[in-house]
Amino acid sequence: GAVVSQHPSRVICKSGTSVKIECRSLDFQATTMFWYRQFPKQSLMLMATSNEGSKATYEQGVEKDKFLINHASLTLSTLTVTSAHPEDSSFYICSAREAATGSNEKLFFGSGTQLSVL
Amino acid sequence: TQLLEQSPQFLSIQEGENLTVYCNSSSVFSSLQWYRQEPGEGPVLLVTVVTGGEVKKLKRLTFQFGDARKDSSLHITAAQPGDTGLYLCAACYQAGTALIFGKGTTLSVSS
């Protein structure tokens, strides 16, 4: 089955540093990738929709200058948390939709990245 | 903004009991999915329902999609400790758009 690889799985950084999270579709092309954020014991909150070759669309309340998203190819999207602060500590999850289907029935999730900002 | 209401938020039961989790929206879904998530991992898809009135079974799990495509339920029969986890419903309101998740149900099954 289709696989989405997300790296790193866990990162600890100092306040003020930037962290990049990668999301790769390993055996399919993904024109659209989604980035979610999840706090402990809570659900996934959509942060942004990333379309290959164009600017990401951010959800209300998500700072685009804080969470930089790049989707430069059909198999890779990156989320960079800039100048991270402790309140940015969270579980970040990406998902990718297979280009061939255009349907959400073919939406695959990465394994998530636990970010801890000290 | 579409909202997906999921209940209950927490459920703690004994092994062998049955349970039902509900997912409701004021808007019609294009499709609805149920996921299960373990701590520190991404959600794992259990089922996708797209047709109003649809019922799908996955071993001891029964998923129903309301006729009006605004609600869904997950019923677990004879729960086991291995069923413990976070269950999430997620809906797509328009084909091709992002999945919107419910708040999740944290299920704990004790032996």
Q: What is the DSSP string of A15-54?
A: TT--EEEEEEESSS-EEEEEEEEE-TTS-EEEEEEEETTS
Exposure on the CB side of residue A48, measured as CA atoms within 13 A: 24
Radius of gyration of chain B, Cα coordinates, nearest whole angstrom: 13
Q: What pLDDT digit, counting tens, does each position of B63-92 carry? A: 999 999 999 999 999 999 999 999 999 998
CA dist B48 and A23 (Å) reads 23
Q: Are A90 and A39 in contact (CB under 8 A)?
A: yes
Nearest-by-Cβ selection for A43 from B30, B40, B103: B103
Share of chain B above pLDDT 90, in %: 73
Judge: B88–A44 Cβ closer than 8 Å, yes or no: yes
- B2 to chain A, closest Cα gap in Å: 12
The stretch B42-47 carries a mean pLDDT of 92
CA dist B56 and A117 (Å) reads 42
Identify which of B28, B100, B107 has the alpha carbon closest to the alpha carbon of residue B68. Answer: B28
Q: What is the pLDDT of residue B65?
A: 93
Identify which of B71, B90, B2 has the alpha carbon closest to the alpha carbon of residue A109. Answer: B90
Judge: A104–B99 Cβ closer than 8 Å, yes or no: yes
DSSP A75: T
Contacts of B103 in chain A (CB under 8 A): 42-43
User: Which residue of B10, B54, B101, B103 to mutate against A (max A Cβ within 10 Å)?
Assistant: B101
CA dist B75 and A49 (Å) reads 32
pLDDT at A103 over 80: no
Rounded to 5°, angle at Cα A48 from A80 and A7: 40
Identify which of A21, A15, A2 has the alpha carbon closest to the alpha carbon of residue A67. Answer: A21
The stretch B12-38 carries a mean pLDDT of 93
Judge: B31–A111 Cβ closer than 8 Å, yes or no: no
CA dist B70 and B48 (Å) reads 14
What counts of helices (H) and strands (E) characterise chain B?
Answer: 0, 11
- A16 to chain B, closest Cα gap in Å: 24
Identify which of A102, A68, A54, A91 has the alpha carbon closest to the alpha carbon of residue B43. Answer: A91
pLDDT at A101 over 80: no
CA dihedral B90, B42, A52, A49 (to 10 degrees): 40
Q: What is the pLDDT of residue B2?
A: 59
Q: What is the pLDDT of residue A27?
A: 87
SS3 B56: strand
Q: What is the pLDDT of residue A104?
A: 52
Q: What is the pLDDT of residue B75?
A: 98
Nearest-by-Cβ selection for A103 from B1, B95, B104: B95
